[in-house]
Amino acid sequence: MTALHDRTVEPQVTTGPIRGSRKVYIEGPDDLRVPVRRVELSNGEHHDVYDTSGPYTDDSATIDLRAGLPALRASWVAEREPVNGAVTQLAYARAGIVTREMRYIAIREGVDVELVRSEVARGRAVIPANRNHPEAEPMIIGKKFLVKINANIGNSAVSSSIEEEVDKMVWATRWGADNVMDLSTGRDIHNTREWIVRNSPVPIGTVPIYQALEKVDGDPAKLSWEIYRDTVIEQCDQGVDYMTVHAGVLLRYVPLSAKRLTGIVSRGGSIMAAWCLANHQESFLYTHFEELCDILRTYDVTFSLGDGLRPGSINDANDDAQLAELRTLGELTQIARAHDVQVMIEGPGHIPMHKIAENVQLEEQWCDEAPFYTLGPLATDIAPGYDHITSAIGAATIAKAGTAMLCYVTPKEHLGLPNRDDVKTGVITYKIAAHAADLAKEHPRVQSRDDALSQARFEFRWLDQFHLSLDPDTALAFHDETLPAEPAKTAHFCSMCGPKFCSMKITQDVRDYAEAHGLTSVEAIEAGMDEKSTEFIDHGGRVYLTITDQHTPGHAPPESEDRPH
C-alpha cells in the first residue's frame, strides 16, 4: 500500500449517512455482520434497504483513505484450504462447501444459503471476490438474485485525476453501485487502481488490455501475449475482482464488422481486431485462454467475457458479427468452468426493444446460463445527452428477461467523460431499471419498498416519502423548490395541485365520509341507492337502453355486467 502513502494529495470523499437513514448490521453465523441502510419512519416503523455504500455511511466508522478499508475477508481467505487445487467460489460450491461469502450473501439477499451455493456451482451466479481484495463486502450476480448494477469510472488521457476517480467510486457506491469498473486509460493507471481497490467496499472490475496498450504506447500492433499476461498478473495481485477479456473477437470475425454502419465500438474489441489484422494471427486472448484461466483461478478472479463486437447502433443489432462472437464466448465459458474459474458474459450495446429478449435467450442457450452483464442496451440512437434514459428502457427490458447485472450509462455517453453528477444520475437511473426488473420478476422482497413509500405518500408523510426514495436529497430539493416552508412537509397537498385539487386529500375525505355513513361496501352503496335514488336508476337504465338501440353495426355490444341497473 505504499502507493497510497506516497501520494501528497489525499482524495476527499463523501461520508456520513444518507439522509433519513443510518447504517445497521444484521448479525449472522460465524460473526458475520451484514450492513443494511435503515430508514426510520415517522410512524415508528422502519424499512431496511440493501446497502452497497460500505463504512463511508457508518457514523461510527473511521475513514482513512491512505490505510484503506478494513480487510473484512482477510481471515476468511487465509483460513481456507484449496479444493481440487482451486480456491475459487466455484470450486468450493461444486464441492458442496459453503463459504462465508455465501453465508454473507444469503443474509444480504434474504435467501437460503443453499440457493447461493447451488447457483454458483451451476455457474448461473458468480461471486466476484479476489482473495487479494479482502476489503470488499461479498455480493452475488445471478438471475435468481437481485439485479445488480455496475458503475464505470476511470480517467482518460484528456480528463480527470486520481482524486476525482476515488471520489467517484465512493460516490457511486453511496448511491447504490453494486460493482465499479475502473476503466482508466490515462496516466497513473496502476496508482489510480490501487487507491480505488484499497478503498472500495464493492468488487472492482477492469479491462486489462487498456493498461497493456499504455505499455506499448498505444499501438495495438505492438501488443503481445506476454505484455498482456504480465498486466493481468499485476492486476490480479492488486485485487481486481473481475476482468473484461475480449477473447471472442476472432480474426475471422473482423470482416463481419465491415458491413456494419458503426463497425466495432468496443474499445477492447477494436484493439484486438487491430492486433489480429496487423499481425495476421488469431487473437492471443483466444489462443492463450487456458493460461489466462490458470492465472485467474489462483486469485479467484471472475471472467467477464467481453462483447468486443457488440453493436454500436440500432442498425447493427443482433447481426452476424455480434452473434458469432457470442457463440465463441459460450465455448470459452466451458473452458473457464473446466478450470473452476467463474464466468459472466457481457452483452450489448444498442438494441431496439423488440430484439432485446433474443439476446438473453441466445446468451443463456449458448453460454449455458452464465450470468449476463449488459451495457444498457440503448433502445434508440437519437438522444445523445439522454442516453442514461434511452438505455434505462433497454436495461429494464433486458433485466426483466433475465440479465443479472446492468452496466450503467451516464448522460455523457458518446459525448465525454462523466463527472460526479453524471455518475450519480447514472447510478440512480440504473437502480430504477434494476428495481423495475426485480418487480417484474416478482422478487418476493422488493415490492415492500414501493409499498412503504406509496403508503407514506398517501398519508402525506412527506419526509418518509423522501427518505424511502432512491435519492432523498433530490426529492426534498424538488419539493422545496416551490414549497420551502417547514409546515409544507406535513401539509396535505403540494404545489402540483394545491389544496383543493389534491386527489389524495379528497380520497381521504371520501373514506372518512364513507365510514361515517356506513358506505364502505358495494352492498351498502347499492342499498342506499335503492332507498334514495330510484329516479337515477331509471335514468341510468334509460341511458343504457339508448345505447344498445343505437350501437353501430359491427361493434360489440357493451359487457352486460357493466349495465347500470
Give Cα separations from 556 to 84, 149, 241, 550, 560 (angstroms): 69, 48, 61, 12, 11
In angstroms, what is the minimal distance from the CB of 564 to a second copy?
Answer: 7
The residue within the footprint of a second copy, chosen from 24, 26, 61, 389 (CB under 8 A), is 389
| 268 annotated ligand binder | yes
Site string for a second copy, 392-431 (x = CB under 8 A): xxx-xx--x----------xxxxxxx-x--------xx-x
Comparing C-alpha atoms, which of 186, 185, 188, 204 is closest to residue 135? 204
Please report, as residue ranges, which positions from 44 to 63 form the binding site for a second copy (by CB under 8 A).
none
Q: What are phi and psi of 156, to 5 degrees?
A: -125, 175
C-alpha cell at 5: 502513502
Q: Does 489 bind a second copy (CB under 8 A)?
A: no
In angstroms, what is the minimal distance from the CB of 71 to a second copy?
Answer: 33
CB atoms within 10 A of CB 549: 7
Closer residue to a second copy in complex, CB, 101/413? 413
Please report, as residue ranges, which positions from 330 to 349 form the binding site for a second copy (by CB under 8 A).
330-331, 334-335, 337-339
Please report, as residue ranges, which positions from 203 to 262 form the binding site for a second copy (by CB under 8 A).
210, 213, 218, 220, 250-252, 254-258, 261-262
Region of 150 (left: φ > 0; alpha: ψ -120 to 50; beta: rest) is: beta
| 346 annotated ligand binder | yes
Amino acid sitting at position 12: Q
Strand ranges (E), 261-400: 302-305, 343-347, 372-375
Contact 172, 427 (CB under 8 A): yes
C-alpha cell at 429: 437511473
User: CB-based contacts of 551: which residues, under 8 Å, 6+ apart?
Assistant: 557, 558
The residue within the footprint of a second copy, chosen from 26, 98, 233, 504 (CB under 8 A), is 504
Comparing C-alpha atoms, which of 391, 397, 403, 314 is closest to residue 367? 403
- Percent of the chain as helix, strand, coil, to the nearest 5: 50, 10, 40
Pairing of strands 343-347, 179-182: unpaired
Q: Does 104 bind a second copy (CB under 8 A)?
A: no
Q: Does 451 bind a second copy (CB under 8 A)?
A: yes
Q: Does 282 bind a second copy (CB under 8 A)?
A: yes
Pairing of strands 33-40, 21-27: antiparallel
Amino acid sitting at position 136: A
The residue within the footprint of a second copy, chosen from 3, 83, 233, 432 (CB under 8 A), is 432
| 1 annotated ligand binder | no
- Which window, 8-16, 172-180, 196-204, 269-277, contacts a second copy (CB under 8 A)? 269-277
| 152 annotated ligand binder | yes
- Which window, 17-25, 141-149, 165-173, 469-477, contacts a second copy (CB under 8 A)? 469-477
Contact 342, 302 (CB under 8 A): yes
Beta bridge partners of 47: 39
| 388 annotated ligand binder | no
- Which window, 52-60, 63-71, 173-181, 312-320, contacts a second copy (CB under 8 A)? 312-320
The residue within the footprint of a second copy, chosen from 92, 242, 289, 372 (CB under 8 A), is 289
Closer residue to a second copy in complex, CB, 29/541? 541
Annotated binding residues for Zn(2+): 350, 414
Annotated binding residues: 152, 181, 210, 246, 266-268, 307-310, 346, 350, 373, 414, 494, 497, 502
Annotated binding residues for substrate: 152, 181, 210, 246, 266-268, 307-310, 346, 373
